[in-house]
Chains A and B, each alone.
Chain A
Amino acid sequence: MRTREDFDSFYRNELRHVLGDLEARRRAALRHTAAAAGIGMAIAAGLVLLSSAQHQISLVIGIVIALVLTGVTAAATMSGFRADFKHRIVRKIVKFCDPALTYSPGRGISESTFRRSDLFQRTPDRYRSEDLVKGSIGATSIEFSEVDAEYETRSRDSKGNTRRTYHAIFDGLFFVADFNKHFRTKTVVLPDVAERSLGRFGKWLQSKNFARADLVHLEDPEFEREFVVYGEDQVEARYILSPALMRRILDFKRRTRSEVHISFVASNVYVAVSKSRDLFEPRMFRSLLDPAMCREYLDDLELAIGIVEDLDLNTRIWTKE
């Protein structure tokens, strides 16, 4: 890993002048959007004043025109800006972290990969993923991206109209890597909500979870408090989750300070880290010249790339090379 000083000098030499350029575009984009909104409102006001009798209809038409004008301008100016930002800033930071990694802003972890992980049992009705980073760290091939998976519920209001609402299944960083040991069965490590809130009764409930494989009760009490493990094979689950790996997962969880889901399926390890904010996106209402922003991108990237080291995936002393 590079040091903070490395990044600061990289920021000064490589990013700052590009950011200055992009900052001007961000301000212009905001100005254009504001101007479009102003013009829209003026048209709306004009319509209301000119029409004498049908105030209400002209008001509605005016507001619609104002909104469409603002929306179109915002979308046109900001999407170009966003793409440019990712191409010129985020890509550079990815290369700074590791030159062997590739970055594709428009692509993401596929929905089939997401579902194969078996981390979240609900099938997504709406799935979006972007900002794919892919490559090899030492002997381990990895890929990760931002994933937003949601399910839909429908409700009927009193007039009989159907209303669709979307609820999050997962929103955050989704990471896939080639695991360093061979295995045949599936093992899933989930945050232990039941045991944390209900204690022994929660543990009993978990053992009755028919949607998952058998409960695997591990000997590390701290790990058991934080996580619940389901596995198809009691021995293989322990072969994967060695005492050393359990400690590493605990440390990793502590550092992320968010919910961590991990599964081991078909020779791969899947890690899902929930995040409340968008990853690798420029902030429209914040100056790009604030160095803390780029450091935030670096932190998110290093968190993902660091999983290889955190889970010791490059130690290849077993039969899998």
Chain B
Amino acid sequence: MKLNQLPLHKLRELLHKKEVKAEEVVAEFIDQIEKVEKEISAFITLDLEKAIEQAKTIDQKKEKRSLAGLPIAIKDNISTKDFRTTCSSKILENYIPPYNATVVEKLLSEDAIIIGKTNLDEFAMGSSTENSAFFPTKNPWDLTRVPGGSSGGSAAAVASSEVPAALGSDTGGSIRQPAAFCGLVGLKPTYGQVSRYGLVAFASSLDQIGPLTKTVKDCAILMNIIAGYDPKDSTSVSYPVPDFQIETKKELRDLRIGYLEGEILKNVDSEIIGLYNETLQRIEKAGLKVEGIHFTYWDYALACYYIIAPSEASSNLARYDGVRYGFRVPHYKNLKEMYTKTRTLGFGPEVKRRIILGTFALSSGYYEDYYLKAAKTRALISQEFNQAFQEVDLILTPVTPEPAFKFGEKLDPISMYLSDVFTVTANLAGIPALSLPIGLTKNNLPVGIQIMGNFFDEGKILQLASQIEKEVKFNQYKPKLN
């Protein structure tokens, strides 16, 4: 098997044992990028020469750090010093951050190689990468379909073996939905578990950074590095970070598992329901206690999310005015016109839609009816999860109502928003949730299952994920591309 096909932990083992050199590893990934990137379009910016240089330097070092010589891709809304960070927006097309995000610093301090920045829906607003101001990314399993979004570039890069792992961000499902569409493991950690210093803000009460990988073990390895308190992020939580790799190996026996039931599953694709039920049966067979859980407020989560997220976005995106950074129109009469023209030309249609929607929900006369009502609903959703986690340790749901859809299939914004129905609740409640591949549809499209846990229960989530992974053996499937 070629090196670039191996999961991160296997490559890491080979590198640590000095059976391969970082330079060889990087060269194989570059070879793959050169072969497939034209078709996939996962990256906005690549720095292959620097990657080779870094690999050579790492090969000279005696001490092998945790990620020594492993190329990692970073979603292009996470700041990288002296490396263009665009958010897939014209307004930041030429923005070069003067600093690294904390997660990037942490990866670099373990000698990871940042090989490039991946495509996303503009400012992470979307579920397909079709909202990128530059180009859409294709799904390696079927080039006529979307890779999901907004972390679609990160997911496609890993699924097509251009990199062994990537970082994404998740505001309403932006790591988990592309992970499901591309057959990967994607984790949205507990709110506050991973520093967001350097993540370009979309909706600050919902955003989290997390890994996209080929295996559960790879996810645990990256979480061990990126999790933890950061004084630079005021929402970062001081909570002891366990060794996630050890957590992953723990015995499952005592876990109580809940699964989502009710009307909400009626609109889910039948093949997804089939694989979902099959997985529940596997878990029961393994001797775990499984019970159905009904959520009263889940039905209201999307409406709640599509008020809160745009409201926060309208406020966060007010900073793009053509003054301190980013695009500025060349001609204007006065300051107000400079702001307005810059923003009008700089933002794409979905971003403008959400800014206006958020402005509406926060505006005088509507605030109580919209924003405040959504905030209250959010509290109810959160309380319902608190109650559920008194009965069970983990909750299972599908990740998406359907497998990867075709380009241009969801032109109506609401139909696109509906694909977040199972994922937004974790962001609203601040809890961790992971997407794990559990099989393929008849059309060879990956299907995922979502495992949700209580605050800081990433360890338990990874335990169950690891068990299911062993039984499903999803790694036997590869996109045709490879």
**Chains A and B bind each other:** no
